[in-house]
């Protein structure tokens, strides 16, 4: 595991070099002349393994473009990413970092749009519990997180960027005094990363589904049935939370709200192995909410996008499911039969889940296959 991680990190570093362009200025086609854009600078920061304490971990190590910007080394039995320091683990499964630039800032849902029994009072934000208001604030976290990139201080990260091969790019984008003030420089590092995360390289919109929306792909019968079910607001109800629209940009497969969908405990999560009283309360423990709302938000997590979901196993905040088939069974049967853990078996479970009805969504075997086939056309790279 440890060796594999170092191997991946080196691989990522090589990709960064390979894509950096041949010329001194590092810009494709225009060596030495064009000023790098903020997103190009952000790309270099995102792939730089030197920005971790062991020089072995970049953002891209846990958010690998080849794995839908999620971690290639995790599975149901090893569901959380290892940090720059070997043996250090967080307690959540790394989600995709793609398409996150479309998530609105964290905030309260307008009062008239709140439906108290199922919905959360909050929406948007970054992390599965919304504790970072936006991508810039999010990007400031991993560098200093001891179970992630583990730098001692903002100054240490800024110093590494100042001594990097792309230091001149940073000055070109942020000005001659870009490194003079640590707080400003650290903020600008995060700003550049957020610009990369908002770029077309990350948010490709090149899946079969996007081609379908553009009239350039005909779904197979199974994919089409899956899509119809996905949108059916009365039976499968998927799109009630995983939003689909008429255009690609309206189809981010999330309404950016928070729900408790009865995700069971992952007994293989290191946090649970260390302490079997461990419970991830999600938004309910987020520093971003009012203390008086904690009980009502217990066990709720942000609706994830399903773009590239075929590539991002395992699934859910704790990586409890290995396959999309298992996820669909969760919605169809598990929650309805309360095959869930004390962790989530409380009043907060979303009404859509039919929890405890013992009826479930009433899907047939073919329906479940169709839903999975549909989700597999959300993978970028078709055109």
CB atoms within 10 A of CB 271: 18
In whole angstroms, give the CA distance from residue 322 to residue 187.
37
| Of the residues 306, 311, 340, 349, which one makes contact with ligand HEC according to CB under 6 A | 306
Decide: is 240 part of the binding site for ligand HEC (CB under 6 A). Answer: yes
Hey, what's the torsion of the CAs at 333, 325, 266, 53, to 10 degrees? -150
CB of 225 to ligand HEC, least distance (A): 13
Query: 331, 353 in Cβ contact below 8 A?
Result: yes
| Of the residues 16, 303, 377, 378, which one makes contact with ligand HEC according to CB under 6 A | 303
Residue range at the interface with ligand HEC (CB under 6 A); choices 31-39, 122-130, 207-215, 335-343: 122-130
Decide: is 352 part of the binding site for ligand HEC (CB under 6 A). Answer: yes
Decide: is 48 part of the binding site for ligand HEC (CB under 6 A). Answer: no
Residue range at the interface with ligand HEC (CB under 6 A); choices 161-169, 176-184, 284-292, 312-320: 312-320
Q: Which candidate, 110, 109, 141, places its Cα nearest to that of 128?
A: 141
Site for ligand HEC in 143-202 (CB under 6 A): 143, 148-149, 193
How many residues make contact with ligand HEC (CB under 6 A)? Answer: 50
Residue range at the interface with ligand HEC (CB under 6 A); choices 59-67, 180-188, 244-252, 289-297: 59-67
| Of the residues 56, 61, 348, 379, which one makes contact with ligand HEC according to CB under 6 A | 61
| Of the residues 9, 219, 371, 378, which one makes contact with ligand HEC according to CB under 6 A | 371
| Of the residues 5, 204, 242, 298, which one makes contact with ligand HEC according to CB under 6 A | 242
Which tokens hold the place of 206?
């090149």
In whole angstroms, give the CA distance from residue 69 to residue 72.
9
Which tokens hold the place of 264?
């069971």
Site for ligand HEC in 254-283 (CB under 6 A): 259, 261, 263
Residue range at the interface with ligand HEC (CB under 6 A); choices 92-100, 109-117, 216-224, 271-279: 92-100
In whole angstroms, give the CA distance from residue 187 to residue 145.
16
Q: Which candidate, 129, 124, 123, 128, places its Cα nearest to that of 111?
A: 123
Please name the residues in contact with 330: beta carbons below 8 A apart, sequence gap of 6 or more.
261, 262, 263, 321
In whole angstroms, give the CA distance from residue 213 to residue 246.
7
Q: Is 104 exposed, middle or buried (0-12, 13-18, 19+ CB in 10 A)?
A: exposed
Residue range at the interface with ligand HEC (CB under 6 A); choices 11-19, 31-39, 127-135, 269-277: 127-135
Q: Which candidate, 117, 123, 120, places its Cα nearest to that of 351?
A: 117
User: How many Cα atoms within 13 Å fall on the side-chain side of residue 265?
Assistant: 17
Positions that interact with ligand HEC (CB under 6 A): 57, 59, 61-63, 81, 83, 90, 92, 94-95, 97, 100, 126-129, 135, 138-139, 142-143, 148-149, 193, 236-238, 240-242, 259, 261, 263, 301, 303-304, 306, 309, 312, 315-317, 324, 327-328, 331, 350, 352, 371
């Amino acid at each position: 595991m440890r060796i594999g991680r170092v191997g991946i990190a080196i691989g990522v570093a090589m990709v960064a070099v390979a894509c950096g362009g041949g010329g001194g200025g590092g810009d494709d086609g225009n060596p030495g002349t064009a000023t790098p854009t903020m997103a190009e600078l952000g790309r270099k920061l995102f792939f730089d393994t030197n920005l971790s304490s062991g020089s072995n971990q970049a953002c891209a190590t846990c958010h690998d473009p080849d794995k839908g910007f999620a971690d290639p080394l995790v599975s149901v039995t090893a569901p959380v990413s290892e940090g720059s320091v070997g043996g250090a683990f967080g307690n959540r499964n790394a989600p995709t970092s793609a398409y996150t630039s479309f998530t609105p800032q964290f905030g309260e849902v307008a009062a008239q749009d709140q439906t108290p029994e199922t919905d959360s009072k909050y929406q948007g934000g970054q992390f599965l519990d919304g504790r970072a208001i936006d991508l810039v604030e999010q990007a400031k976290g991993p560098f200093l997180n001891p179970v992630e990139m583990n730098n001692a201080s903002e100054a240490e990260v800024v110093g590494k960027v100042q001594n990097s091969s792309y230091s001149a790019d940073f000055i070109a984008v942020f000005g001659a005094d870009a490194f003079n003030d640590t707080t400003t420089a650290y903020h600008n590092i995060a700003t550049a990363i957020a610009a990369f995360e908002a770029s077309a390289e990350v948010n490709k919109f090149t899946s079969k589904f996007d081609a379908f929306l553009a009239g350039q792909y005909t779904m197979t019968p199974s994919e089409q049935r899956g899509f119809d079910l996905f949108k059916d607001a009365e039976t499968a109800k998927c799109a009630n939370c995983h939003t689909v629209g008429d255009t690609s940009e309206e189809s981010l497969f999330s309404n950016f709200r928070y729900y408790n969908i009865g995700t069971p405990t992952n007994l293989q999560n290191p946090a649970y192995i260390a302490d079997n009283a461990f419970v991830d309360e999600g938004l309910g423990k987020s520093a971003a909410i009012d203390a008086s709302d904690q009980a009502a938000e217990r066990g709720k997590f942000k609706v994830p996008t399903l773009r590239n979901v075929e590539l991002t196993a395992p699934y859910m905040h704790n990586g409890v499911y290995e396959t999309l088939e298992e996820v669909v069974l969760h919605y169809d049967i598990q929650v309805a039969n309360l095959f869930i853990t004390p962790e989530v078996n409380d009043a907060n479970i979303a009404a859509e889940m039919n929890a405890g009805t013992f009826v479930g969504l009433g899907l047939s075997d073919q329906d479940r296959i169709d839903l999975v086939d549909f989700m597999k056309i959300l993978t970028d790279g078709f055109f």
